[in-house]
Amino acid sequence: MTLPSPLIFIPKKATQDVDFAPTLRTVIHKSYSESPDAYTDEIAALNRARQDALRGSAGSDATARDLLYKYFGQLELLELRFPDLRVPFPWSDAFTHVKISQQSLAYEKASVIFTIGATLASLAASSPRSAPEGLKRAFHAFRAAAGMFVYINDNFLHAPSTDLSKDVVKLLVGLMTAQATEVFIETMGPATAKGAGLRSKLCMQVSAAYAGLVEEVKEWVGKGVFLREWSLLIQAKAKYFASLAQYHRSVADNAAGKYGEALARLQVSEAAAKEAHRLSQTFTTSFSTTSTATSLAPDAPVALAELTKAHLALVTEAAAKAQKDNDIVYNEVVPSEASLSAIDKGKAVAEPIPIHDVYATADVQKIVGPDLFARLVPLSVHESASLYSEEMAKLVRAEAERAELADEELASALEYMGLPASLARFQSGAAAQSSLADPGPQVRGWADEVRAGEASSSSTRADESFRRLAAQRDSASRTLDSVASALDAESRECEALRARYGHLWTQSPSSSATRGFRADLRAHRESLDAAGRSDQQARALWDQVRRDVGVLADPSGDALERAYAEAIGGAGAEKDLLDDDGTEEEEETKRRVAEVSDALSRLNKIKRERGEVLRDLKDKVQADDISHILILNRKGAADVQPALFATELEKFRPHQQRLTQTLQAQQSTLADVNSAFKALSEGTKARQVQGQWAAAERKKKDLSSRFGHAAQVYADVRQALDKGSQFYGDLLELVEGLQSQASSWLAGRTSERDRLASEADLKQRLEGGGGGSSSSAASPGGLDRAMGALSLGGARSPPPNLSYPSPSPQPSYPNPSSHAQYHQPSPPPPPSNPYGALPSSGAFSTGSTSPYQNRAPSYPSPAPPVPPPAPYGASSSYSTAPAHSPYGQPQQQRQPSVPPPPPTPSTPSYLPPPLKPVSYASSPAHQPYGQPPSNPYASLPPPPPQHQQYSYGQQQPPPPPQQHGQPAYGGPPAPPQPPRAPPRPY
């Protein structure tokens, strides 16, 4: 078996260990303002990568290649972050072995790349070429090695060593491409007559490549850089492949019938083969295994000698045979060598592989691994990444706006046509109309509110509240009647005794003393009457909506469902549009309904797809990070960045195109929907169904409006009832206080009258000797009648908790001027409406202006009454009670209003001391009668104009004319009371 042609590989450069730690720690601290200790592991990994790649740790050429790939990749990334790194890198020349050290990453990179090229050449030369896989690996390795050397010449200037000089590196590039082409010829297999022309071109290409290196190699051999064996081997191969080219061309000419030219080329081939054999013998005699161990295989002389010898024998035999054939058979003229046409070299088949292509493969990227210093990102890269993020955000915003505009156009178009709701009318007919019987969430919400008010407890129901208000009103009326009856009885008793005793009766008339009581009685009665009128108005409103409120308040909700079902039932009685007999119009309508339905389905799919594409675009934009690309291009020119951004944004072009396609599809589908639905709506049956739906919807709307009115009125009535209940509660407290004060006063008057009656009877007996025996008997009965009239339970029963002071053994009473009087100041101006800031509509209002917001009685705060409480006739509603604090706000603590008694006049020693002043205050929460209450709203600005409010205890202007059936609470305002002189306490 013939040995393969020997190949030359490049000796490797030698180096020593280098420690990156000191320099890197300093740069990290100064340039990045970070702690160097945080990058101890990364620095150690970088040192270890250099040692593994360059200190012979690799066990084979393939492993050495991978370690060199990794180290150079990390060097590239390191230079992007530390471009000015200054570390001494010692390297020895691969040919002269001269040691050179420089503090430059460029020198380190060039040396590593040279070593990678040498390793690839060694891997190619040692690859077994007997199998196709070995040939492919060798061909790729030679081309990759050539690419490494090309990168050195293109990127590094002013080489400090011979092996990195341009001329040497250029020669190495030619040598690697020539050997790669030689290997490629071997991949073609055994020679045949069919491929003889192509093979001759490739052999001439290799011969020319070797021939172009001969003189340069001889020059460098003379300088002691290259070995003499390199020159001999290259010369031998140049002649050998020239002979091969002529031989294969002769085969092609012979097949073409050019026997004379074929013979001439065989003669030229034989001469070149003899020269190649001679050079191989010289190469064998001068070959030294010691000096060539780093660039040639030990069996190279033997392999070359056998190769040239075999080829010479082949060519000699072919030339002899061709000469014989031409002499005997063809007799063609044999042209001279100079007249033969040159063999075309053809296109180069072994172009160098650029280093970027080598590192772009997934295998090499995996070998390089992640960036050791990925956490250190330069500020310029951050800025560029921010600019790129803004470009991506612009792209996403633009696409989102397009999608949003398309969705809005779709929604507007469907809403204008009433789709898909209107399509359901044609598909379901009367069955679909039954869906209108559903009250809806708004009506159900009203029902829940009404049900909560009516079903929580019996005491909170409207009817029960009306009954409770009536009971409170009757109780207050009876109490006022009892107080008035007691005062009248006392007055009659006093005047009867005056008529009996004449000038002997010295008790002052009760009219002046009871003026304040009677003013309070009159004011309370007027307020009570006005409250009764407000109750009637609220009751009238309640009677209007009682039935609808009962439907809403049904606990089971069946009544509400039944009401809607009855209202909608008539409109849905027609026959289903699509269930009629199979007339031509019905079939056409069904077809159009199907067309619209299919078009709507397509629109929904288009919208879904658009949303999915937009979401996917946003996800990809969110995950996109080109920081590593920006770092790799950091050394590029400033104008490279826009082009880089544009290139990177192209990855989102498919999403933009898909969004554009959805927009176009939506436009065409909408046009189809519009035309189909227009044709559908113009049919006779379609118009009939639309009319039925319109009637059903109108009935539902009217019923919902009615229930909304009922719910609103109910809310207003409930509010009125709550205020009325509070009003009557406060009024009862005041009335009871008035009753208590009147009882105390009547008790004092009765005690005084008994004493005076005893004295008058005594004086009468002394003067006239008789006629006074019936006084003592009449007086106690009068007292019983007066006290019985004050009772709340009956006209004649004595009032509870009344004390009767025992008469003094020496009856006497102070000057009438010292009796308790009511100070009657002029009433202050009415305060502003405390409910003016409250919402003008109830809880069930559906808008800012409700048509029902003025129907319910309202109860604004009263004007402070003249003490005792102001006449109720000057007020009109449940807003507040006569207490001097507006409802809904805490009442102010009342201050004593009765003026202190004047000094006790000098009286005889037998007269008892005057009684203590009495107060109308029935509880600490109410002010006593006698001092005008403070106005709690004096500091508030006047309220804005409101709809008519009605309030107990507050003077109102005359009510406006009745509108829309609204009740007017209360009567005309009472005229102001003149001020009264303060009475002296009793």
**Residue type, position 793, single letter:** G
Give the pLDDT of residue 2.
65
CB 963 within 8 A of CB 796: no
pLDDT in tens, 244-269: 999 999 999 999 989 999 999 999 99
- Which domains, and CATH codes, for the chain? 1-187+349-376 (1.25.40.280), 191-345 (1.25.40.280), 398-430+581-698 (1.20.120)
Angle formed at CA 940 by CA 938 and CA 943, multiple of 5 degrees: 115
**Residue type, position 194, single letter:** K
Give the pLDDT of residue 56.
59
Confidence bin at 727 (pLDDT 50/70/90): very high
Angle formed at CA 131 by CA 129 and CA 133, multiple of 5 degrees: 90
Reference 326, options 315, 313, 335, 339; nearest CA is: 335
What is the distance, to the nearest Å, from the Cα of residue 214 to the centroid of all Cα atoms in its chain? 75
What does the pLDDT average to over 794-811?
34
Confidence bin at 618 (pLDDT 50/70/90): very high
What's the DSSP call for residue 857?
-
Burial string for 793-817 (b: 16+ CB within 10 Å, else e) reads eeeeebbeeeeeeebbeebbbbeee
* 347 sits in which H/E element: none
What is the distance, to the nearest Å, from the Cα of residue 866 to the centroid of all Cα atoms in its chain? 62
The terminus-to-terminus CA distance of the chain in angstroms comes to 153
Distance CA 787, CA 794 (A): 11
What crossing angle do the helices spanning 653-681 and 584-623 adopt, rounded to 10°?
160
CB 80 within 8 A of CB 631: yes
Give the pLDDT of residue 434.
61
**Residue type, position 244, single letter:** L
CB 986 within 8 A of CB 888: no
**Residue type, position 476, single letter:** A
* 642 sits in which H/E element: helix 640-649
Inform me whether the pLDDT recorded for 90 exceeds 80.
yes
Tokens of 651: 């990855």
Inform me whether the pLDDT recorded for 825 exceeds 50.
no
DSSP states of 457-507:
-GGGSHHHHHHHHHHHHHHHHHHHHHHHHHHHHHHHHHHHHHHHHGGG--P
Residue 847 three-state SS: coil
Comparing 562 with 349, which gets the higher pLDDT?
349
CB 797 within 8 A of CB 815: no
Confidence bin at 883 (pLDDT 50/70/90): very low
Inform me whether the pLDDT recorded for 320 exceeds 50.
yes
Reference 673, options 867, 322, 885, 410; nearest CA is: 410
Reference 673, options 603, 743, 752, 574; nearest CA is: 603
What's the DSSP call for residue 853?
T
Q: Is 787 left (phi over 0), alpha (psi -120 to 50) or beta?
A: alpha
Give the pLDDT of residue 260.
92
Residue 184 three-state SS: helix
Distance CA 633, CA 648 (A): 13
pLDDT in tens, 503-538: 888 888 888 889 999 999 999 999 999 999 999 999
pLDDT in tens, 458-514: 556 888 888 989 999 999 999 999 999 999 999 999 999 989 888 888 888 888 889
Reference 282, options 229, 227, 221; nearest CA is: 229
pLDDT in tens, 397-431: 999 999 999 999 999 998 888 888 777 666 655 55
